[in-house]
Structure 1
Amino acid sequence: MLDLFTLQIFSALCSGSSAMASCRNVSSRGIANVDAGSQIGLVSNKSTRRHRFLNLGVERKIPKSSASRFAVTRRLIAIKAVSIIDAPAQSSSQPSNLEQELRDLKILQARLRAAETQRERIQIINQQRRVASFFERNEILKDLLNFESLEERQIYLLKCLVSIGQEHVLVIEQSWLDLKQRPENGGQSRSSSPLKNALYILLSMIENWEKTGNYAKSPTFLNIKIGENSVKTVNAKNKSCKEEISNAMDKLLSTLEDVETFYDCIGGIVGYQVAILELILASKNEWHSLSSQFHQDYSDASSLNEFYVPLGPDLSKNIEYAAQAAVWGIEGLPELGEVYPLGGSGDRLGLIDKETGHSLPVAMLPYCGRTLLEGLIRDLQAREFLYYKTYGKQHITPVAIMTSAAKDNHKHIMALCEKHDWFGRGRQSFQLFEQPLVPTVDAEEGKWVKSEPFKLVLKPGGHGVIWKLASDKGIFDWFYSHGCRSATVRQISNPVAATDVTLLALAGIGLHNGKKLGFASCQRSVGASEGVNVLLERNTSAGCWEYGLTCIEYTEFNKLGIIDAPISPGSVQAQYPANTNVLYVDLATVERIGSSKSEASLPGMILNLKKPINYEDYLGVKHSIYAGRLECTMQNVADSLFTSHPYRCFSNVQENLDTFIVYNERRKVTSSAKRKRKAMDKSLHQTPDGSLLDIMRNAYDLLVSCNIQMDKVEDNTLYLNSGPPFLVFFHPALGPLWEVIRQKFRGGSIAKGSELQLEIAEFSWVDVQLDGSLIILAENIMGSEKSSENEDTMLHYGQQCGKCRLQNVKIANKGVDWKSSENVYWQHKVDRLETLKIVLHGNAEFDARDVVLKGDHIFEVPDGHRLQITTRDSGLSTTMEPIIDDMSICGSWHWKYTLHNSHFNLEMVEL
């Protein structure tokens, strides 16, 4: 017994030291796992061993192999097809315990789904041998949890939990009770160190043996005997402890209700576990003993599917078509909504609130001077401003945001929107809907992971739940009430998706051609850990031929026979394009799928078990185990949109599909900021640093096309040593189409090491030479904000905005301090030695012509005024004058946008 707690104390010591903690992380040898004072084991890759847990009175086998590093997927395109990564081969022909468990649960699942009433379901669940046995031998638990006060539905949920083999969630360890009661008796609280907690538990157990003379009376894991004395203590002496138990039970019941309700299309709690076990079994290659239908479906799908590179317009090459498609997108803006799936936990970013020390969601990443969510809204407003400048009409696009409780995601996003007064769009233009958190399961047996009694380790269920959740929450009806029939979808971690024509052309093609679903795609490198878009051809059992665009995860390539080959010998570009999750959707179509009450409403179900999940138990001991949760992928809603033909097609297949694809340069479509770059990491892939460099490369391509001379962004290795060659940040309302921006910039140069930040839309640059730092900040970028009747501050697009014209101006200053160790370039957080800063309040204007501006300057222009800077014999001449009344609304000049043959023409109108 002492050896057992010696192990626990050692684990506690490891968790308290950063150096030792690293020893407990997942390694190639296995995973250290401590189960909160009740069980301790070591999962090893060596031979199977038995460990006796004396405090439990039971033996537990430790599996021969560690939790496998694999991801498994169930897909509709190949019935229950799976991904297998490093899954151990199984040679035995005997059914495993897991297979028998799956068979039993599938029978239960079918009976429950066939039941018409809740009472029938309760009768079915009560008949389960596991349920009856568990509650018969745990009368003390029922008394402690005050079962009599629970509603019938709540008891049913708990029995469902037991019926799927997760009764361990209801285990109340004696150590947990002792710890919860300790503060009231003058002992240590939960906030004490893991070592103190472990020592206290050891002391309590020794005292208990001295009183009883028999350690066998200690609590056991299987039958949850926590002792009558402990229950009496909780009931009589520690009301707060009982309240804590009650609160923990309430939270568990809430989670179970979420799982039962949301996953009703596959059988609720039981269906969730069935899907988990199917995917775990698939990962173990145990096809031999699965049902013949399951095996046959998999085999047929593999042999009769053909994959092709999908055809679609390349916006980077077909310039005329790209321009036309973008115009379709602008014209159709009033019919478009915007959807942001922001519910992910973003663990790889490791984002921490410096003030509180708490983890933050991806949306709060401070990227290029603002949060990622603010960046998405700015992109949307830029398209709306372009619509206003083209048609003279105000339009506010409705935005639906899927959040979650992970890392207080929902609270943070709500607080951010409120802080910015809903970005001048009004509360009524937003709908936030929260996706449920789902249980994580261990990689070996599908056991739900808990951190303490009744408390599960929960994670978001993937962005694919968005269609069903939107249907359940009435989001589609809300879109319809705003006149929307389609929507664009983009992920928070991809800040470049709205670059130039990408989003507008994607939406325009979908709207103009009446398509149901569209993908924005780009080239992909061979071997990249990215999914691909493919044209899938399949021959059904009915003899029909079905065609459609869909997505294949890179983990499925080997299983489906997809060769990750280059497009040509010696090329690094893969033959299949990248899936970027930048989508166009027809709302009525995805609503039909999301509300179908079938497995189709949860597209692309996946169980990713290749990465460890970290959590902390009630003793403060940190754990790292291979585990996952049932996730869905939103892009695989395409699997329900195949077109059927009675014969095989050999040409013009894609023209008649409901799905389509459009291509553009990769850095105009995707450059994600998903993971934190480690100090010595030379790879910038999917890091904020790498994404920043792609934005700088885009800026270079754009400005060079405006005949501006500047240094090219070289290889990423130079960034690691010395940072980017320049920093250029534009407000997207300058365009957002590059065709528009090119008419606002003409000639000049930007020296290496310079910084250019333009928070302005009405701007003109003609032959400007920049050597240093130039920052222009307009208070009113696209118009003015006014309070509406409901007191929401609304942005009214118009001419009442800041304006700046620079012509034949030379700017020279010391600029950014590139040697400063405080610089964080991807945050646009840099130290400056000197800068030229122009601040425009309201509809203020700044004009500079034929001047040289050297050194550190700040020009601040008040609302309703124009500052003019010219050169005279005596030097610089500055003239500040009010804008006359006749010009007070539009200012002294503005850009006029007109369309001609699908191209935008800009004319500077001077009043």
Structure 2
Amino acid sequence: MRKLGDYELYLLKCLVAIGQGHILGLGDEGGGVADDHRKILNDAKSSELIQWPLSLDVTAELQRKRRRGEPDEREVLLKLKSFVRVLDSLERFYDCIGGIVGYQLAGMELIRSSETGEIGFSATRSAQQSFYHVPEGKDLSKDTAFATQAAGWGVKRLAEIGEIYPLGGAGDRLGLVDDVTGESLPVAMLPYCGRTLLEGLIRDLQAREFFHFKLYGSQVITPVAIMTSAAKRNNERVKDLLESHRWFGRGRDNFQLFEQPLVPTIAAENVQWVVRGPLDPMLKPGGHGVIWKLAKDSEVFKWFYDKNRKAAVVRQISNPVAATDVTLLALAGVGLHQNKKFGFASCDRKVGAAEGVNVLMESKTEDGRWRYGTTCIEYTEFSRLGIADVPVSTGRQEMFPANTNVLFVDLESVEEVASRNDCASLPGMIMNLKKPVTFTDSYVLLNSIRAGRIECTMQNIADSLQNHYQHQLTSIDHDNLDTFIIYNQRRKVTSSAKRRRKLDDQTLHQTPDGSFLDITRNAFDLLTSCGVAIDEMESNQCYIDTGPPFIALLHPAIGPLWNIFRQKIYGGSIRKGSEVQLEISELSWTNVDVSGSLVVEAENIMGTVKDGILHYGEGLGRCRFHNVQVSNQGIDWKCSTNVYWQNKVSRHESLKIILKGCSEFDASDVVIKGSHVFEVPDGHKMRVRPSGPTGFSCTLERLPESSRSWAWKYAMRENGEVELEMVGNSSKTPQLRASFAR
């Protein structure tokens, strides 16, 4: 075992210099450091911290000590070196504010700020005067013409966009554990709607790429950068998930994983690092705001540039609805088309919600200039900054809109800020001391103290992208700022799954149950706009008591824009208590009545995988329904093991259609009663037609080589509106229907 080097000793000296010697056992304020470790470490005092020999023999005495459970010097040194690696990570990452010493000073200032209400550790909000206004932006739910145009800009320039997923969430509030090992799992592994949350994000992305392919005939594979953490083996588990899915047919080189550092927790009472045992400080992720400096340090920006990306869309793992309809495409479209540096997708916010707000910050600097920009203020900062958490008028809607962490970023602009050697590269530093920190110390005693760690907020990089003017602006000038905001209906932007709902909990906010209810309500809005008759949605309490009124899970590649859904789905009904699951992209639905369960599963939803890459548009499964009635007993709604948001349901009966490879299913003018499974082999077409008064007949025929009987052809107008035309055999009715749907 080699001695500690000069740099390692320097790190330990920094620790002592900032008053954290208790972690090493240097002093009486041990906070859980066992006597045996303290004795070994205190031997180093005469040499100004620790110098061990090159090797240590494990003598019989040391073996006896080990049997008694006492540590020997080798064990302590191994633990010390592991701890030094933590210090090294802290020193290197926080070099822009002074490394270990700077981290402690910033933490002390943030603690003082939380107690006094003074401005904390921030260079970007040190203006003489600051005013906060409701930011103006286009509302996609109201200005549908603009929404259509902006989404068109987004899909047209899809090849310029990357995606960034901050997946560092530890998932403590979800109570996720591995069924086999019992280990805690990160949020990314939450089983949701039949797949993990991470799989859902990739599924949404591929639907947008498939949309681009159908319009322009060219393949786009978006590079995805994923920020993980060491907490709960997050990085390892995410990598294993990607490998198990063979990188989702995207290739290993289109994913970049980069791991955020773990940082110490500081007690508010004595500003000492919280320790659970010898050389064992309580470490937690440093917040999603470290993502920009970490991306710079890990050369993620360079990786995006090498793939010819100019901008990126950011969405969090716990928000499964952000890609609904036009939201993400319009956000990216506005950002690119208008040459913006940073953008927010926002929505309404309820008073008292534990979420930040978006504001237009207007500041007068000390030199008399004016500074403007759209940014975010976390809810923990409201009282300090004078943000009133009050409604606009009578009601529950907050005056300021919600920050959702659905973001557009211009890569070069953000990289420039992340490269600065100051606190600007660690935006929005805060310390949340509102919730007590609980931990078990080395004496197996449960402790609960007021403590926190420095967290950065990724959206506050916008503070450093503000525009400066010699004069005060009027509201009409705000459109010219480098930062922007767009709005949409809340459940089309955010509905998070962050905490497990207890059995007696009547609150759905931020639970998987509540998020699934929002998905169901979105499906209701979409399908009724397609002319599908569905009973009105019921209250939250009915959902809690009896489950959803129906289940409708539709693959986003059918759209992803709702205007495209409306041209593929038209008419019919979904009765209360019924289920429709459509895992397919090439679908034609005309006047389909479902009473029970209808499940369609295409093996090739968007294309065929060759040499590890999903090739869009090749060998698709296709399904066409025309005047079809589906009647069966469907889901067993009384089954106690049903978990609707996980898509775990027990069924009495169902109609299931499985399309293998390049195959087709065609049902017309028919009633299909009872439980059936129709599996269509690759290269074949199955026709289902009426036979007798109440029956039906099936015929199976081989498709011509490398052919299909029909397909949807996409075209975009100058205003961004997308029109579909069915090409191939028997296309007359769908063409008329598509025209009518518009």
Equivalent residue number for residue 245 of structure 1 = 76
Name the amino acid aligned to 1:899: M
Aligned pair in 2 of structure 1 residues 235, 163: CA closer, same or farther (>3 Å)? farther
Q: Distance in 1 between matches of 2:274 and 2:467?
A: 42
Name the amino acid aligned to 1:394: Q
Equivalent residue number for residue 817 of structure 1 = 636
1:219-618 to 2 correspondence within 5 Å? Answer: 237-238=61-62, 241-285=72-116, 301=127, 304-567=129-392, 569-618=393-442
Q: Report sequence identity in percent.
A: 57
Given that 1:697 and 1:712 are in contact with CA atoms closer than 8 Å, whether structure 2 keeps it comes out as no
Given that 2:209 and 2:221 are in contact with CA atoms closer than 8 Å, whether structure 1 keeps it comes out as yes
| Aligned partner of residue 528 in structure 1, secondary structure | coil
Name the amino acid aligned to 1:347: D
Q: Which region of structure 1 is more displaced relative to structure 2, 338-347 or 364-373?
A: 338-347
Question: What do the CA deviations read for 1:273-300 (whole angstroms, capped 9, x no partner)?
Answer: 001111112222286xxxxx98999997
Matched, 1:868 2:693: no
1:674-823 to 2 correspondence within 5 Å? Answer: 674-787=498-611, 793-823=612-642
Deviation at 1:472, TM superposition (A): 0.4
| Aligned partner of residue 609 in structure 2, secondary structure | strand
1:129-208 to 2 correspondence within 5 Å? Answer: 149-171=3-25
Question: What do the CA deviations read for 1:100-136 (whole angstroms, capped 9, x no partner)?
Answer: xxxxxxxxxxxxxxxxxxxxxxxxxxxxxxxxxxxxx
Deviation at 1:623, TM superposition (A): 3.7
Name the amino acid aligned to 1:152: D
1:58-137 to 2 correspondence within 5 Å? Answer: none
Deviation at 1:736, TM superposition (A): 0.5
Question: What do the CA deviations read for 1:760-815 (whole angstroms, capped 9, x no partner)?
Answer: 0001111000011111111100010011xxxxx11000141111011111111111
Given that 1:335 and 1:484 are in contact with CA atoms closer than 8 Å, whether structure 2 keeps it comes out as yes
Deviation at 1:642, TM superposition (A): 1.2
Deviation at 1:626, TM superposition (A): 3.1
Matched, 1:904 2:722: yes
Q: Distance in 2 between matches of 1:649 and 1:555?
A: 29
Q: Distance in 2 between matches of 1:399 and 1:462?
A: 20
Deviation at 1:456, TM superposition (A): 1.7
Q: Which region of structure 1 is more displaced relative to structure 2, 820-829 or 606-615?
A: 606-615
Given that 1:566 and 1:575 are in contact with CA atoms closer than 8 Å, whether structure 2 keeps it comes out as yes
Deviation at 1:454, TM superposition (A): 1.1
Name the amino acid aligned to 1:460: P
Name the amino acid aligned to 1:250: K
The number of equivalent residue pairs is 709
Question: What do the CA deviations read for 1:370-400 (whole angstroms, capped 9, x no partner)?
Answer: 0000000000000000000000001100000
Q: CA RMSD in A?
A: 2.5
Given that 1:465 and 1:602 are in contact with CA atoms closer than 8 Å, whether structure 2 keeps it comes out as yes
Q: Distance in 1 between matches of 2:555 and 2:698?
A: 27
Given that 1:809 and 1:851 are in contact with CA atoms closer than 8 Å, whether structure 2 keeps it comes out as yes
Give the TM-score, by structure 1 length: 0.75
Q: Distance in 1 between matches of 2:126 and 2:290?
A: 28
Q: Distance in 2 between matches of 1:523 and 1:799?
A: 41
Question: What do the CA deviations read for 1:681-715 (whole angstroms, capped 9, x no partner)?
Answer: 10000000000000000000000001111022222
Deviation at 1:560, TM superposition (A): 2.0
Given that 2:713 and 2:724 are in contact with CA atoms closer than 8 Å, whether structure 1 keeps it comes out as yes
Given that 1:235 and 1:242 are in contact with CA atoms closer than 8 Å, whether structure 2 keeps it comes out as no
Q: Distance in 2 between matches of 1:296 and 1:362?
A: 30
Q: Distance in 1 between matches of 2:368 and 2:88?
A: 42
Q: Distance in 1 between matches of 2:395 and 2:11?
A: 56
Deviation at 1:627, TM superposition (A): 2.2
Deviation at 1:221, TM superposition (A): 11
Deviation at 1:244, TM superposition (A): 2.4
Name the amino acid aligned to 2:629: K
Name the amino acid aligned to 1:804: C
Deviation at 1:606, TM superposition (A): 0.9
Matched, 1:632 2:456: yes
Aligned pair in 2 of structure 1 residues 863, 618: CA closer, same or farther (>3 Å)? farther
Given that 2:124 and 2:424 are in contact with CA atoms closer than 8 Å, whether structure 1 keeps it comes out as no
1:877 is aligned, of 681, 684, 697, to 697
Equivalent residue number for residue 48 of structure 1 = none
Give the TM-score, by structure 2 length: 0.92
Deviation at 1:653, TM superposition (A): 2.7
| Aligned partner of residue 614 in structure 2, secondary structure | strand
Question: What do the CA deviations read for 1:63-97 (whole angstroms, capped 9, x no partner)?
Answer: xxxxxxxxxxxxxxxxxxxxxxxxxxxxxxxxxxx
Equivalent residue number for residue 49 of structure 2 = none
Aligned pair in 2 of structure 1 residues 278, 765: CA closer, same or farther (>3 Å)? same
Aligned pair in 2 of structure 1 residues 807, 541: CA closer, same or farther (>3 Å)? same
Deviation at 1:424, TM superposition (A): 0.5
Equivalent residue number for residue 894 of structure 1 = 711
| Aligned partner of residue 149 in structure 1, secondary structure | coil
Given that 1:405 and 1:437 are in contact with CA atoms closer than 8 Å, whether structure 2 keeps it comes out as yes
Deviation at 1:251, TM superposition (A): 1.2
Q: Which region of structure 1 is more displaced relative to structure 2, 553-562 or 492-501?
A: 553-562
Name the amino acid aligned to 2:717: H
Aligned pair in 2 of structure 1 residues 877, 594: CA closer, same or farther (>3 Å)? same
Name the amino acid aligned to 1:896: K
Given that 1:547 and 1:653 are in contact with CA atoms closer than 8 Å, whether structure 2 keeps it comes out as no
Q: Distance in 1 between matches of 2:699 and 2:385?
A: 71
Gaps of 5+ in 2: 46-52, 67-71, 730-742
Deviation at 1:177, TM superposition (A): 7.1
Deviation at 1:850, TM superposition (A): 1.0
Deviation at 1:220, TM superposition (A): 12
Larger Rg: 1
Q: Distance in 2 between matches of 1:294 and 1:452?
A: 31
Deviation at 1:873, TM superposition (A): 2.7
Given that 2:207 and 2:559 are in contact with CA atoms closer than 8 Å, whether structure 1 keeps it comes out as yes
Aligned pair in 2 of structure 1 residues 816, 678: CA closer, same or farther (>3 Å)? same
Q: Distance in 2 between matches of 1:264 and 1:758?
A: 51
| Aligned partner of residue 742 in structure 1, secondary structure | helix
Equivalent residue number for residue 647 of structure 2 = 828
Q: Distance in 1 between matches of 2:421 and 2:34?
A: 42
Q: Distance in 2 between matches of 1:730 and 1:472?
A: 40
Deviation at 1:234, TM superposition (A): 7.9
Given that 2:599 and 2:657 are in contact with CA atoms closer than 8 Å, whether structure 1 keeps it comes out as yes
Q: Distance in 2 between matches of 1:689 and 1:430?
A: 30
| Aligned partner of residue 200 in structure 2, secondary structure | helix
Given that 2:32 and 2:442 are in contact with CA atoms closer than 8 Å, whether structure 1 keeps it comes out as no
Question: What do the CA deviations read for 1:481-524 (whole angstroms, capped 9, x no partner)?
Answer: 10101000000000000000000000000000100000000011
Given that 2:593 and 2:628 are in contact with CA atoms closer than 8 Å, whether structure 1 keeps it comes out as yes
Deviation at 1:224, TM superposition (A): 9.7
Given that 2:578 and 2:596 are in contact with CA atoms closer than 8 Å, whether structure 1 keeps it comes out as yes
Given that 2:110 and 2:120 are in contact with CA atoms closer than 8 Å, whether structure 1 keeps it comes out as no
Question: What do the CA deviations read for 1:541-583 (whole angstroms, capped 9, x no partner)?
Answer: 100011111111122222222222322x323211111110000
Equivalent residue number for residue 670 of structure 2 = 851
Deviation at 1:243, TM superposition (A): 3.3
Equivalent residue number for residue 38 of structure 1 = none
Given that 2:370 and 2:469 are in contact with CA atoms closer than 8 Å, whether structure 1 keeps it comes out as yes
Question: What do the CA deviations read for 1:635-694 (whole angstroms, capped 9, x no partner)?
Answer: 000100111111112242312210000000000000000111112110000000000000
